[in-house]
Amino acid sequence: MKIRIKNLRLKTIIGVNDLERETKQDIVIRIEIECDGKEAAATDDIRETVNYRTLTKRIIQEVEESRFYLLERLAHHILQVVLEDKKVARATVEVDKPQALRYADSVSVRCSSEDQR
């Protein structure tokens, strides 16, 4: 089973320039989680699946308090938070930074648990 969290919009300190270190910037996060959802589907019991509400609250807290320089580091940090849940078999995290480059909608970094192997 796949659980997708689409376009979680947050603000954080991210970047290497002086202004980026002073002002929170918009980021957009997409997360795809693979888990065994058979038992949850059969029982309708939230304890049998990844509680994406609890997970999202944790990610919001982590991101809003972070002060990373690189999108790569932020994406990896979010992935590690997701993988702490033992019900997660695999996960992919993509972080977009809108307006990071002139003339581009955004720059994004994508990492997955498969990259860790």
> How many whole angstroms separate alpha carbon 54 and alpha carbon 100?
30
Supply φ then ψ for residue 51, to 5 degrees. -80, 95
Report all structural domains of the chain as residue ranges with CATH numbers, in order of start.
2-116 (3.30.1130.10)
pLDDT tens digits, 33-91? 999 999 999 999 999 999 999 999 999 999 999 999 999 999 999 999 999 999 999 99
pLDDT tens digits, 5-18? 999 999 999 999 99
DSSP helix/strand/coil, 109: strand
> How many whole angstroms separate alpha carbon 41 and alpha carbon 1?
10
